[in-house]
Amino acid sequence: MEFYSIKYKNWLIIKSPKITNLEGLSSKLSKIEHLRITGRRLNSDVPVPMNFRSFKGLPNKLPMLEDIEIYDSIIQNLETLTAEIPRLKYFRFENCNIHNLKGIPKTLEGVSFMDCQIDSFEGLDVNNLNILDRSAPHIFLHKTSFSSLHGINRITLQSILIEYFSRFENLYALASLTTKGIELLNDCVNSEVNNANNPLEILRRELPHIYPSDFGGRGISFDPEIKHRGVDYFFNNELIDYPPTEHWNEDKAPEYYEKDNWIYALSLEDQLFNPEKIARLLDFYKKSPTELAMQYRSDPKSLPKNQIQRLIHESDNLILKILENYEFSSLQNNDPVIARISRKFTVRTKKGKILL
């Protein structure tokens, strides 16, 4: 029984949640335009855990493929995606746990993450994207959290910051960084510039019945609820117009233009970000968790407390093995950092036993 199907002649759908790679896939896929890897039923939003790990088995050339969607998977990286895909435009992840983005194709116009957990953006470089329209976003973060900012350059970081701070939905997926990382992240935005120009801040002042004074929004955002409550806005040379809600006639409502906050953020980009704070954030995440582990293993006192917190927070089983390699280490068996990292990977059974 085949684990894939071809719909509408140009959709290739991987439909078995049990597959780990694409071996056994037909090689006659030259006309495929869309690739979807998911165990969900058609038109279902119910996540189905996928065992997909590798693109091994994908044909070497996919001349017509334009977009790839992956759902409900644990992605180590994308280095197995080696096929020639000259027309690839978009890469979409939904409900995925992503370790890093090494190997992501360089011909993309955009990449999106929805309900995802990202360990590292390493491998994602905005300079490698085929950006045809700078007034449109090319990285989308929707209810997506991330635990590290290691391995990205300034322009990619700023694109991520715009997306993270700009979309109202991201209020529900706070960045999973250390306390110091969150502090440095928030410091990157110039609050005075943001408060003076941010449409959301203006709406809070103008519409207190929609935005209570204790509303904890992060900033650069248009709340979609504004639309549903009949408040139209027009973004034109810093002019925002609000039609009176009491006279709102939904049948005559004008077509809503997606004047995305991306345009707002780009128009203020040079003023909106504090360059020295961006540099400080990049410097804080300059070293990889592996480098931190090697430094701590050789000389624990040389690693600042904030970086030790990073090491603990961003560690995985590989990092734990590096620290526990006592042949090359000056650490003791009861080292507190190793103990804290080990607790992240312990499982207590119903009978009280602890498993690593």
Please report, as a single letter, which amino acid is at residue 100: N
Contact 233, 222 (CB under 8 A): yes
pLDDT digits (tens, 9 = 90+) for 52-63: 999 999 999 999
Q: Taking the CA atoms of 73, 79, 84 and 87 in sequence, report the sign of the dihedral they define.
A: positive
Decide if pLDDT at 350 tops 60.
no
Q: How many CA atoms lie within 13 A of 315 on its CB side?
A: 27
Q: What DSSP assignment string belongs to 118-151?
A: ES--TT--GGGS--S-TTS-SEEEES-EES--TT
Contact 148, 119 (CB under 8 A): yes
Q: How far apart are CA 347 and CA 155, in angstroms?
A: 40
Contact 22, 54 (CB under 8 A): yes
**Residue 253 per-residue DSSP state:** P
Q: How far apart are CA 75 and CA 275, in angstroms?
A: 32
Decide if pLDDT at 288 tops 60.
yes
Q: How far apart are CA 240 and CA 203, in angstroms?
A: 9
% pLDDT > 70, the chain: 71
- Residue 195 burial (C-beta neighbours within 10 Å; 0-12, 13-18, 19+): middle
Phi, psi of 13 (to 5 degrees): -120, 120
Contact 4, 12 (CB under 8 A): yes
**Residue 169 per-residue DSSP state:** G
Higher pLDDT, 117 or 130: 117
Contact 74, 54 (CB under 8 A): no
Q: How far apart are CA 102 and CA 115, in angstroms?
A: 20
Q: How far apart are CA 168 and CA 223, in angstroms?
A: 6
* Residue 250 pLDDT grade (very low, low, confident, very high; cuts 50, 70, 90): very low
* Torsional class of 71: left (φ above 0), alpha (ψ -120 to 50), beta (otherwise): beta
Q: How far apart are CA 11 and CA 184, in angstroms?
A: 43
Tokens at residue 317, please?
């089983």
Q: How far apart are CA 252 and CA 228, in angstroms?
A: 14
* Residue 292 pLDDT grade (very low, low, confident, very high; cuts 50, 70, 90): very high
Contact 295, 302 (CB under 8 A): yes
Residue 82: the pLDDT is 94
Mean pLDDT over 188-211 rounds to 63
Lowest mean pLDDT of 27-31, 46-50, 99-103, 128-132, name the range: 128-132
Decide if pLDDT at 263 tops 80.
no
Contact 323, 329 (CB under 8 A): yes
Contact 185, 281 (CB under 8 A): yes
Residue 238: the pLDDT is 34
Note every long-range contact of 22-29, with CB atoms under 8 Å and residues 24 or more positions apart, other chains counting. Answer: 22/54, 22/55, 22/56, 22/57, 22/58, 23/56, 23/57, 24/57, 25/57, 25/58, 25/59, 27/59, 29/59, 29/62
